[in-house]
Amino acid sequence: MRFPRSSGILLHPTSLPGAYGCGDLGDVSHHFIDWLAVAGQGLWQVLPLEPTGYGNSPYMALSAFAGNPLLIGFDDLLACGLLTREELLPVPSVSPSRVDFTQIVPYRMQWLRLASERFFAREHPVENQEFEAFCSAEKHWLDDFSLFQGLNVRFGGVVWTEWDPDHALRKPKILERARRELSNEIRFWKWTQWEFFRQWGRVKRYANEKGIRIVGDIPIFIAHHSADVWSHPELYFLDDRGNPLVVAGVPPDYFSATGQRWGNPLYRWDVMEQQQYRWWIERFRRTLTLVDITRIDHFRGFIEYWEIPSSEKTAVKGRWVEGPKEKLFQAVQKKLGKLPIIAEDLGIITPDVTKLREKFAFPGMKVLHFAFAEGPENNFLPHHYESNCVVYTGTHDNDTTQGWYDKAKEPERDFVRRYCSTDAREIHWDLIGLASGSAADLAIFPFQDILGLGSEGRMNFPGTAMGNWDWRFSWDQVGPEHATRIHELSALFGRVPER
């Protein structure tokens, strides 16, 4: 699918400023959308919005369908009287440039629990009906997720294969008893989902009213410790106790000499095909109610994926295994129509990956940080671009542009300077300008590059499990020149959307 020529910003909501330890879906999101509009941007790309699990990673979510309760804005809860400003104080002492998840998660969750108790204690027929209608409409995933979370709390957050075996293996009578015993806990998790989807719906509507489309992620794989794997073990390669037999990752590449062992269980594509890809159809349906465009992370995995024996500690000893190829997307499009997808086609890309992407007209990705190490034949250089692609200066997995340039070898830096006709004193703006002026339909920039940050602004180090995803900015770092400059570039190269 071709998208109108435009540009935008990559920024996860947790990276927004906020009075309560991290960014959320309250006033701070609306403020950022206002900034995007002033800056002439037509896209806001976010990372996965699902509830994070191990390492606070958006790519290791507790559910492929639920929303992250950490993103629920307190502004709405204050406005409707479920919380008071006084009781929220003191906020844990945290850095304005980092999210301290160890403090902020328990802090925010305790107040969400109180807000939930007050919601159910008061009489409000309209909201109660809306809540019940939501629970009924989302029953196909919400019942399993809320029970999973109830049991997750009961068993102290350990991976579900370490729960009591009857609960782990979903014995019907045991689960029915658990639903009765954990009814209040289950109701709380359902309420968090209702509140998340309400708030996100308002954010998306506000963005769309401003002429801004939301770009969101679908990670190809699912975390083992998730409601999805626990409730549908037949869809994954697991042993009799539920442990993965093989796990996902990628072989050694640009990011890591030993590859990346992600640890996600791998799909039984034969079973999914027998079920007419029902799970995937529902996953796409849900995602496309939340975002306007979805980026599929690790698109090449639908052609071939790297299978690693679960006993291996690194990704070196793996093998390529055939994926579902076009059959999956044909099934999804048959139910949902033409799909507004960006295909993340980075890494080892074979001709059949490109053929699959082109068959469905999905734009691929170009990353400028990868463009300058191999000379003028490198396909990431803009003079090779076709229009139906998306160019990034860097992604959430890259260093910032300034950090990348500072660490690059001198021959690569020399090529950058010659290609951009620049002295590289503002290398972030040089690459933003290069992307803006390219033929690519879409150009997207991490907000760290707009601010000209060095490696201190990096969001993720691929191959490392801990210490990521915690960067955020403060409005003190943002001056009028940032919006003015990106607006001028977007206007110069025909990327400002009609409003």
Q: Which residues are annotated as catalytic?
A: 297, 344, 397
Rg of the chain over Cα atoms, rounded to whole angstroms, equals 23
**61 closest CA partner among 216, 300, 238, 221:** 221
What gap in Å lies between CA 80 and CA 489, rounded to an integer? 42
**371 closest CA partner among 338, 397, 408, 328:** 408
CB burial class (10 A; 0-12, 13-18, 19+) of residue 11?
buried
**20 closest CA partner among 82, 102, 105, 80:** 105
What gap in Å lies between CA 375 and CA 389, rounded to an integer? 21
CB burial class (10 A; 0-12, 13-18, 19+) of residue 339?
middle
What gap in Å lies between CA 308 and CA 265, rounded to an integer? 10
Cα-based distances in Å from 19 to 12, 51, 81, 323, 483: 17, 21, 18, 45, 23
Residue count (the chain) = 499
What gap in Å lies between CA 132 and CA 142, rounded to an integer? 12
What gap in Å lies between CA 489 and CA 483, rounded to an integer? 10
